């Protein structure tokens, strides 16, 4: 080959590899590349050559399209997919769309699994053993199909398979904090994926890929607008645009929900009031609901942030949260919609410890909410901190379905530059025991409705999705979206199992890679806690943008300052929430209250959340409190260095572009971990007046340096 030819060949190679765009992260965990184990791939090829997908709906078409795409990629071979069953090896369908499935003796089982549940097993059809993916609902068969593809992606054998799945919750939602101008509140992955200007005429292919990704993990609803709501989203102009999205999402079982600005009757309705007991206002919302359902017949309902952080609400008219929620619920009820009323409220007057306020407001209203109202509660009593004890409202409201609100976007966990796998955080909360009905009354059982026998149950996750090519900014942000959806489906899944699945589907099944990356993910949340807010510290972030450290923040309302939370003084540090302090502990059931209240039994990870502790307090490790703080901060920053080394060690095992993206972000994280460590320790040292042990590398900058850092443009505000 001449030099020119070689150059041309190389160029061609480069062009074809980038044109395929396979490794830019866009495909998420639906990365259908040939099964690495060749023997297994050949086996799958034999087992899945001919497939029948019964039915002629948009959903069954979506199933066929997904399977075609998945099998072609995974098996590296075109499969034969038909809509009529004629002796194929695989049959996907419902008793309603497939006479063969209707004739099987599995109807009782299918009924138990419900419309969204599914069965994957072998059955004899017309004398031949075939692989069956069946459900009573077509959405169930879509979920089953994604499960089947996941089995292939994670290299599971199909022989003797028996999978019976049903979601543990009825409502599994993403909450987008997306504004109409396409900025995303606390979003770090670019702008909103909703292109309002071009909708509904231009349907970005991303909408369908968004629906596919969500359906693949069982998410069945999305609130597309910010909780700090704009009433305009409820006007016909936007409702027509929403219809464009709803049409794309429907085949994938995803309903659209909207945030309802409480003052909308004034702002877009021209009424003088938004008082929920005013008949005209009630009628306005009824008309609005009718109008929405005329355009989007399967509209899901409203999410509401009211009387919180300046948002309007029923208390503006001296009405209760329940009166406000019920007014909306009654407008939606005839159409089957629900209201998700947020419990994230705290008063402007700051009368008591902010941690107490949601419980104080909502617990007395337990009997008052209509049947189609959820109260949506953040995982902890303050605000999505790196670590919080579970919110005391879990278990406390027997009559009301309580929906979990997690934050997938990393507002307080390093935005989209820190690798922090959030499943351990989610699980810590879900597995916590409320003792509401004695031992074993976990938060998971509260939110899946089983503890208090609710038919409505659910979870919401504040989305980390934006229009970045890889959706979430940090490639590992995808794992948090994934794990959230899977836990909303079943809170019993483990963080480890979900990390394992996600790694295999997103990167590789290579054990050498998994052995390194899985432990790295599982440790990463504790690492972030260590370099940000160990031992129960919380709310120590910078003013407004919440990205870097700011223990000195002392402006604005007291409960927006860091000092309000750390309470450091010459004697010690921590917020006394015991029975002799703010008494927040007493909002928990007695077993939990006593556990947290007692300095001896309070877990050290919540020590400074509940107790004000002297600097020389002896810790379990033998260190003093100050010594332990130093240890934690230094180990956090050191752990990020270890993550860097671990990641370097797997360099050759995955795509170079993917490897390099994470490598660069880890470098940022390593620097920022030191920033957090130094800023916090130097700041607290003013009070402890104790040295950072000489065994540790001393900070090379002064406290003043850190305090004077100013950032004018940080994403997410
Ligand atoms: C806080 C965020 C703020 C949100 C608020 C909420 O900083 O942007 O509006 O939560 O959940 O953590 O309403």
Helix (H) or strand (E) holding 322: helix 321-332
Q: Same domain, yes or no, for 554 and 679?
A: yes
Give the per-residue pLDDT at 557. 87
Residue 100 has pLDDT above 50, yes or no: yes
Confirm whether 660 is domain-assigned: yes
309 catalytically annotated: yes
Does 344 sit in the ligand 1 pocket, CB within 6 Å?
yes
The yes-or-no answer on residue 383 being catalytic is: yes
Q: Which of 7-21, 325-339, 631-645 has the lowest mean pLDDT?
A: 7-21
Query: Which structural domain range is residue 94 located in?
Result: 23-165
| Mean pLDDT of the region 620-629 | 98
661 lines ligand 1 (CB under 6 A): no
**Within a domain: 226:** yes
For residue 481, being part of any structural domain is answered with yes
Task: Kindly report the backbone phi and psi dihedral angles of residue 500, in degrees, each rounded to the nearest multiple of 5, phi listed first.
Answer: -60, -50
What span, in angstroms and rounded, lies between the C-alpha atoms of 36 and 507? Answer: 11
Q: Is the pTM of this model over 0.75?
A: yes
The domain that contains 123 carries what CATH number? Answer: 3.30.379.10
Residues 489 and 538 occupy one common structural domain = no
242 in Cβ contact with 293 (< 8 Å): no
- Residue ending a domain, choose from 165, 195, 214: 165
Same-domain status, 142 and 259: no
The per-residue pLDDT for range 386-405, each reduced to its tens digit, is 999 999 999 999 999 999 99
Predicted confidence band of residue 717 (pLDDT cuts 50, 70, 90) = confident
Residue 475 has pLDDT above 80, yes or no: yes
Identify the domain boundary among 132, 165, 198: 165
Answer yes or no: do 112 and 148 share one domain: yes
For the record, the structure tokens of 713 come out as 């443009």
**370, 332 contact by CB (below 8 A):** no
Q: How many angstroms separate the CA atoms of 580 and 578, rounded?
A: 5
Residue 559 is part of a domain; what is its CATH number? Answer: 3.90.1330.10
pLDDT at 22: 54
Any domain includes 717: no
Whether 602 is in a domain gets the answer: no
Is 66 known to be catalytic? no
Collapsing DSSP to helix, strand or coil, 373 comes out as strand
Q: Are residues 349 and 427 in the same domain?
A: yes
271 shares a domain with 161 = no
Q: Of residues 383, 428, 433, 468, which has the active-site annotation?
A: 383
Which CATH number do you get for residue 237? 3.20.20.80
The answer to the question of residue 691 being in a domain is yes
- Check whether residue 420 and residue 476 sit in a common domain: yes
191-238 residue pLDDT tens: 999 999 999 999 999 999 999 999 999 999 999 999 999 999 999 999
> Count of domains in the chain?
3
**Residue that is last in its domain, among 107, 136, 165:** 165
481 and 563, same structural domain?
no
174 φ, ψ (degrees, to nearest 5): -100, 140
Q: Does 83 contact ligand 1 (Cβ within 6 A)?
A: no
Residue 604 included in any domain? no
Ligand 1 center to residue 409 CA distance, Å?
11
Are 93 and 241 found together in one domain?
no
Question: Rounded to a whole number, what is the distance in angstroms from the first to the last CA of the chain?
Answer: 56
Q: Are residues 376 and 331 part of one domain?
A: yes
Q: Are residues 449 and 554 in the same domain?
A: no
For a mutational test of ligand 1's pocket, the pick from 178, 185, 376, i.e. the residue with the most ligand atoms closer than 8 A to its C-beta, is: 185
Q: Helix (H, G, I), strand (E, B), or coil: what is residue 624?
A: strand
296 and 175: one domain?
A: yes
In a domain, 5, yes or no: no
Q: How far is the CA of 403 from the centre of ligand 1 (A)?
A: 17
pLDDT of residue 602: 98
Helices (H) and strands (E) in the chain, counts: 23, 16
pLDDT digits (tens, 9 = 90+) for 345-362: 987 776 799 999 999 999
> For 420-444, how does the pLDDT look when each residue is reduced to its tens digit (9 = 90+)?
999 999 999 999 999 999 999 999 9
């Amino acid at each position: 080959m001449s030099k020119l030819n070689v150059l041309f060949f190389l160029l061609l190679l480069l062009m074809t590899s980038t044109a395929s765009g396979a490794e830019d992260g866009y495909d998420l965990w639906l990365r259908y590349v040939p099964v690495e184990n060749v023997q297994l791939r050949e086996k799958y090829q034999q087992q899945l050559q001919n497939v029948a997908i019964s039915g002629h709906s948009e959903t069954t078409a979506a199933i066929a399209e997904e399977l075609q795409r998945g099998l072609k990629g995974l098996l590296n071979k075109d499969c034969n997919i038909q809509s009529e069953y004629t002796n194929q090896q695989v049959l996907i369908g419902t008793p309603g769309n497939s006479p063969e499935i209707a004739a099987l003796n599995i109807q009782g089982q299918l009924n138990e699994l419900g419309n969204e549940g599914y069965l994957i097993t072998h059955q004899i059809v017309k004398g031949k053993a075939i692989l069956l993916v069946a459900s009573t609902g077509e959405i169930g068969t879509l979920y089953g199909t994604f499960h089947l593809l996941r089995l292939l992606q994670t290299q599971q054998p199909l022989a003797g398979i028996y999978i019976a799945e049903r979601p543990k919750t009825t409502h599994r939602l993403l909450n987008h904090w997306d504004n109409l101008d396409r900025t995303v509140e606390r979003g770090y992955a670019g702008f909103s994926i909703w292109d309002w200007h071009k909708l509904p005429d231009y349907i970005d292919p991303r909408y369908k890929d968004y629906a596919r990704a969500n359906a693949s993990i069982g998410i069945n609803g999305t609130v597309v607008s910010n909780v700090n709501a704009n009433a305009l989203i409820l006007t016909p102009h936007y409702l027509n645009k929403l219809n464009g999205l709803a049409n794309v999402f429907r085949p994938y079982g995803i309903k659209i929900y909207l945030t309802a600005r409480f003052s909308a009757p004034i702002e877009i309705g021209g009424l003088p009031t938004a008082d929920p007991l005013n008949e005209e206002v009630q009628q306005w919302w009824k008309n609005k609901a009718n109008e929405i359902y005329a355009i989007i017949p399967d509209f899901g309902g409203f999410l509401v942030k009211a009387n919180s952080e300046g948002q309007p609400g029923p208390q503006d008219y001296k009405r209760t949260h329940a009166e406000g929620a019920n007014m909306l619920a009654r407008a939606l009820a005839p159409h089957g919609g629900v209201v998700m009323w947020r419990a994230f409220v705290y008063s402007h007057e700051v009368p008591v410890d902010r941690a107490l306020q949601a419980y104080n407001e909502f617990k007395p209203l337990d009997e008052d909410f209509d049947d189609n109202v959820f109260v949506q509660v953040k995982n902890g009593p303050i605000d999505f901190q790196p670590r919080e004890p579970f919110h005391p409202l879990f278990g406390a409201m027997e009559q009301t379905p309580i929906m979990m609100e997690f934050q997938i976007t990393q507002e307080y966990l390093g935005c989209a530059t820190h690798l922090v796998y959030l499943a351990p955080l989610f699980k810590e909360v879900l597995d916590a025991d409320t003792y509401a009905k004695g031992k074993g009354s976990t938060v998971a059982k509260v939110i899946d409705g089983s503890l208090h026998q609710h038919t409505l149950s659910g979870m919401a996750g504040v989305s980390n999705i934006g229009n970045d090519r890889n959706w979430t900014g940090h490639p590992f942000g995808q794992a948090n979206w994934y794990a959230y959806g899977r836990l909303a489906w079943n809170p019993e899944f483990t963080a480890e199992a979900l990390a394992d699945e996600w790694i295999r589907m997103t990167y590789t099944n290579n054990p050498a890679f998994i052995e390194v990356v899985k432990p790295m993910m599982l440790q990463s949340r504790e690492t972030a806690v260590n370099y940000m807010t160990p031992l129960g510290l919380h709310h120590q972030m910078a003013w407004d943008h919440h990205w870097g450290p700011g223990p000195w923040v002392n402006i604005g309302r007291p409960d927006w300052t860091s000092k309000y939370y750390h309470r450091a003084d010459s004697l010690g540090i921590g917020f006394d929430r015991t029975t002799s302090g703010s008494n927040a502990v007493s909002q928990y059931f007695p077993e939990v209250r006593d556990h947290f209240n007692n300095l001896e039994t309070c877990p050290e990870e919540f020590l400074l959340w509940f107790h004000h502790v002297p600097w020389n307090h002896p810790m379990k490790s033998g260190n003093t409190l100050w010594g332990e703080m130093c240890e934690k901060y230094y180990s956090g920053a050191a752990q990020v260095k270890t993550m860097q080394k671990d990641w370097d060690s797997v360099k050759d095992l995955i795509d170079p572009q993917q490897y390099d993206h994470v490598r660069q972000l880890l470098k940022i994280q390593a620097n920022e971990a030191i920033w957090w460590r130094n800023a916090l320790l130097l700041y607290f040292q003013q009070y402890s007046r104790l040295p950072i042990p000489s065994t540790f590398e001393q900070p090379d900058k002064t406290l003043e340096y850190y305090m004077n850092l100013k950032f004018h443009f940080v994403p997410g505000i």
